[in-house]
Structure 1
Amino acid sequence: MPAMNTGKKTQRYSIEFKVKAVEWSYLPHRSVKGVAEALDIHPFMLSRWRKEYREGKFAMKRVKKAPAGAKELLKERDEINRLKRRIAELQEENDILKKFQRFQAEERRKRSDSSGNTGDSTE
């Protein structure tokens, strides 16, 4: 009986590609998911490559050439992540300032209430 051919084509990646993807995924502020999306691969595959890399299954150590287009996508993703962190930081600062403003208004109100209530006498 002949082998069944389902029509699915398995993508083969070079060791250089795998090593570069793994190295990118280890850079600060980069996630496995983000690198996988930029390279158009499944995050599980990248995780598996990371494990193989740690176990020394890849013979290559450093690769200079990046896959086409992936470098730009990763730069954009890094910039987006940096901006998201900055937005979160600014929102937190804004919340703190709002709380401080409410606190000051409350303190002013307490001071004005206590200074106007000195007319109580117990004669």
Structure 2
Amino acid sequence: MPNNNKPRKTWQYSNEVKVKAVMLSLIEGIQVKEVAKTSNIHHFILSRWRKEFQERKIVADKRRKLTDVVSKTEKEISRVKSLEAEIRKLKQELDL
């Protein structure tokens, strides 16, 4: 049996990282699992952050413009979705 005397590594995330992930997960059409996967965190952690954000335990820094980050990300997501649709269309044309 392996020796488990070593403590597990716990990651510390800044408030900015938490708020950014929560704001991205609140965008319509985006799933929590997708945001968690791209942020390299477990979706349970992101769900907990969302709950803490609603309870005002996690607060965005008023000095930073998170709306700019979110709007850029929304544009990137819509671009990726349109490219994926185009790929599906091209694959269907090749199969015919």
Normalised TM-score (structure 1): 0.50
* Aligned 8 A contact 1:16 1:60 in 2: yes
Partner of 1:51, secondary structure, is: helix
Are positions 1:52 and 2:65 aligned together?
A: no
RMSD: 3.1
Paired letter, 2:9: K
Q: Which runs of 5+ in 2 are unaligned?
A: 67-71, 90-96
Paired letter, 1:52: E
Aligned residue for 1:24?
24
**1: distance between equivalents of 2:78 and 2:31?**
10
**Paired residue total:** 79
Report which of the two structures shows the higher radius of gyration computed on alpha carbons: 1
**1: distance between equivalents of 2:86 and 2:61?**
34
Identical columns (%): 41
Q: Which has the higher contact order (CA 8 A, sep 6+)?
A: 2
Partner of 2:21, secondary structure, is: helix
* Aligned 8 A contact 2:19 2:59 in 1: no
Q: Which runs of 5+ in 1 are unaligned?
A: 66-70, 91-123
The Cα shift of 1:84 comes to: 5.5
